[in-house]
Amino acid sequence: MIFISLAALPFILFAGLEGRGDIARGFTVTVASGAFIGGIVLAGTGQVNRPAGASAALRLAFFGWVLVPLLAAPPLIAATGSMSSGIFEAYSALTTTGAIIKSPEEAGVSITLWRCVLAWLGGLGSLVLAATVFAALDRRGVGLRRTYLLTVEHSDLFTNFGRALRRFGAIYVGVTLAGFVLLMLLGTDPFDSLCLALSGIATAGLAPQSGALDVWLSPAAQGVLALLCLMGAWNMAVQYDLASRRRISRGTGELRAMLVLGLGAALYAAVTIDISHAWASGLDMLFAITTTGYQTASQPVLPLTLLVLLAMAGGSTISTSGGIKMPRILLLLRRAGGELSSLSHPSAAVRTRFIGRPVSDSALTGVWVYALAYPAALGLGAVALGMTGASFHDSWAVSAASLVNAGPLAGVDFAALSPATLAVSAAIMVLGRLEVLAAAAAIYVIFARD
Residue (of 144, 146, 128) closest to 327 by Cα position: 144
Residue 35 CA to residue 38 CA, distance in Å, equals: 5
- Mean pLDDT across the stretch 308-331? 85
Confidence of residue 151 (pLDDT cuts 50, 70, 90): low
**What is the model's pLDDT at position 243?**
79
The three-class DSSP label of residue 359 is strand
Q: Is the CB of residue 143 less than 8 Å from the CB of residue 326?
A: no
**What is the model's pLDDT at position 45?**
78
In this structure, the number of other CB atoms found within 10 A of the CB of residue 326 comes to 28
**Tens digit of pLDDT for each residue in 394-428?**
999 999 999 999 999 998 999 999 999 999 999 99
**What is the model's pLDDT at position 136?**
67
Residues forming a β-bridge with 354: 357
Confidence of residue 46 (pLDDT cuts 50, 70, 90): confident
Dihedral sign for Cα 215, 218, 223, 229, please.
negative
Residue 311 CA to residue 301 CA, distance in Å, equals: 17
Residue (of 26, 24, 8) closest to 82 by Cα position: 26
The reply to whether the predicted model has a pTM over 0.75 is yes
- Mean pLDDT across the stretch 9-15? 94
**What is the model's pLDDT at position 59?**
82
Confidence of residue 436 (pLDDT cuts 50, 70, 90): confident
Residue 290 CA to residue 263 CA, distance in Å, equals: 14
**What is the model's pLDDT at position 313?**
86
In this structure, the number of other CB atoms found within 10 A of the CB of residue 41 comes to 12
93 pLDDT above the threshold of 80: yes
**Torsion angles phi and psi, residue 423, rounded to 5:** -65, -45
Give the CA dihedral 152, 156, 157, 158, nearest 10 degrees: -130
Of 215-219, 298-302, 373-377, the range with the highest mean pLDDT is 215-219
Confidence of residue 272 (pLDDT cuts 50, 70, 90): confident
Q: Is the CB of residue 371 less than 8 Å from the CB of residue 314?
A: no
Q: Is the CB of residue 203 less than 8 Å from the CB of residue 292?
A: yes
Is the model more confident about 366 or about 91?
91
Residues forming a β-bridge with 358: 353
At position 104, the amino acid (one-letter code) is P
